[in-house]
Amino acid sequence: MAHLEELRLMARVAHLYYNQGLSQSEIAKRLDLSQTTISRLHKRAIAEKIIRITVSMPPGVYVELEEALRQKYNIKDVIIADSQSQRLDDLQRAIGAAAAYYIETTLGKDEVVGISSWSSTLLAMVDAMHPVNSKINAQIVQILGGIGNSEAEKHAARLGHRLAELLHGTAVFLSAPGIVGSADAKRVLLEDPYVAQTVAMFDQVTLALVGIGALEPSELLASSGNTFSSDETQVLRECGAIGDICQRFFDADGQPVDTPLNDRVIGMPLAQLKNIRRTVAVAGGAHKVKAIRGALVGGIVNVLVTDQATAQALIDD
């Protein structure tokens, strides 16, 4: 136990620092002590419980849950959006807004940003984003074929164009469907110089923004025409598939489900996604919990932006 006079000095330092707002250097001058001594007294005041630090979380902030989820799945970061509604549209807007802020604040200079097509939540993210510093100079690369039904295709193009505009960068599009009719058709398309040029850029991607799909396609994906038939989906289910990223299906352990259907997909493979410095999954909702869990367990993604209910379900596994 410290001597009473030393306790009094610790208390005085604490009062000047916290109640009067003086810096440690200002306190040192006031008390004719060195700044090193002030720092030492400050630390001892914490040890003696003269100073007790508490952090009050504002409503809608889930720092402890984010950290618990990050540690459980050993990933880089987790961002949990606050949504009082579990309606799909509301969830997508909340998760999209949280992802937008994350990208705005963490995007590095000269990044090559890969973005998946046909994701309503990624579209909500882009709609919520603000322009970033013009010196960022990012490149946007479509990592899943963006050609499909003309109405749905507008969404895929809007993702790339709008993101490039917000990041003051350029967009490179994958001018092919995400799913083609045969392996031979895929080989022919990959010989197209524009398609080949985009696919060659996959290795340069430093930040990938992806949705996570459940086994049944979303409304946007279904309307695009870039889906497998119900019989083909049943084959995937029987092979253990629970979800997909960029139409590359995986099982509960996050391992690729290897079927001949994979030879018809024009998009980034799961192994390549795992090697990117940051692969950010923007997804949520009760219907996607199993797929998100698989993607995390398999290390396919290393940053997750989701909602509170989904995050809690991932913790309660």
Do 14 and 125 lie in a common domain? no
Report the candidate in 234, 288, 279 with the shortest Cα–Cα distance to residue 261. 234
Q: How far apart are CA 195 and CA 28, in angstroms?
A: 65
Do 41 and 91 lie in a common domain? no
Domain that holds residue 263: 63-315
What's the pLDDT score for residue 239?
Answer: 96
Report the candidate in 299, 112, 265 with the shortest Cα–Cα distance to residue 183. 265
pLDDT band at 2 (very low <50, low <70, confident <90, very high): low
Q: Which two tokens stand for residue 195?
A: 């398609």
Q: Which residues of 24-57 are buried (b: 16+ CB within 10 A; e: fewer)?
A: beebbeeeebeeeebeebbebbeeeebbeeeeee
Does 236 map to a domain?
A: yes
Q: How far apart are CA 308 and CA 216, in angstroms?
A: 23
Residues 251-275 have a mean pLDDT of: 96
Phi, psi dihedral angles at 251 (to 5 degrees):
-100, -170
Q: Which tens digit of pLDDT belongs to each residue from 106-124?
A: 999 999 999 998 888 999 9
Does 58 map to a domain?
A: no
Q: Which residues of 60-78 are buried (b: 16+ CB within 10 A; e: fewer)?
A: eebeebbebbbeebebebb
pLDDT band at 80 (very low <50, low <70, confident <90, very high): very high
Q: CA-based Rg of the chain, rounded to a whole angstrom?
A: 25
Q: Which two tokens stand for residue 96?
A: 């999209």
Average pLDDT, rounded, for the chain: 91
What's the pLDDT score for residue 58?
Answer: 77
Q: How far apart are CA 73 and CA 78, in angstroms?
A: 10
Residues 52-76 have a mean pLDDT of: 88
What's the pLDDT score for residue 157?
Answer: 81
User: What is the 3-class SS of the chain, one letter each residue?
Assistant: CCCHHHHHHHHHHHHHHHHCCCCHHHHHHHHCCCHHHHHHHHHHHHHCCCCCCCCCCCCCCCHHHHHHHHHHHCCCEEEEECCCCCCHHHHHHHHHHHHHHHHHHHCCCCCEEEECCCCHHHHHHHHHCCCCCCCCCCEEEECECCECCHHHHHHHHHHHHHHHHHCCCEEECCCCECECCCHHHHHHHHCCHHHHHHHHHHHHCCEEEECCEECCCCHHHHHHCCCCCHHHHHHHHHCCCCEEECCEEECCCCCECCCHHHHHECECCHHHHHCCCEEEEECCCHHHHHHHHHHHHCCCCCEEEEEHHHHHHHHCC
Does 53 map to a domain?
A: no
Q: How many independent structural domains does the chain possess?
A: 2
Do 15 and 103 lie in a common domain? no
Provide the percentage of residues in the chain whose pLDDT is more than 70: 98
More confident residue, 143 or 32: 143
Do 40 and 96 lie in a common domain? no
Residue 13 has pLDDT above 90, yes or no: yes
Residue 223 contacts residue 150 (beta carbons within 8 Å): no
Do 121 and 43 lie in a common domain? no
Residue 94 contacts residue 122 (beta carbons within 8 Å): no
What residue type is assigned to position 102 of the chain?
Answer: Y
pLDDT band at 152 (very low <50, low <70, confident <90, very high): low
Phi, psi dihedral angles at 245 (to 5 degrees):
-130, 125
Q: Considering the entire predicted model, what is its pTM? A: 0.85
Do 17 and 115 lie in a common domain? no
Report the candidate in 246, 227, 225, 243 with the shortest Cα–Cα distance to residue 287. 243
Do 37 and 117 lie in a common domain? no
What residue type is assigned to position 314 of the chain?
Answer: L
Does 73 map to a domain?
A: yes
Does 24 map to a domain?
A: yes
CATH number at residue 103: 3.40.50.1360
Does 57 map to a domain?
A: no
Residues 34-46 have a mean pLDDT of: 93
Does 226 map to a domain?
A: yes
What's the pLDDT score for residue 42?
Answer: 93
Q: How far apart are CA 95 and CA 127, in angstroms?
A: 12
Residue 190 has pLDDT above 90, yes or no: yes
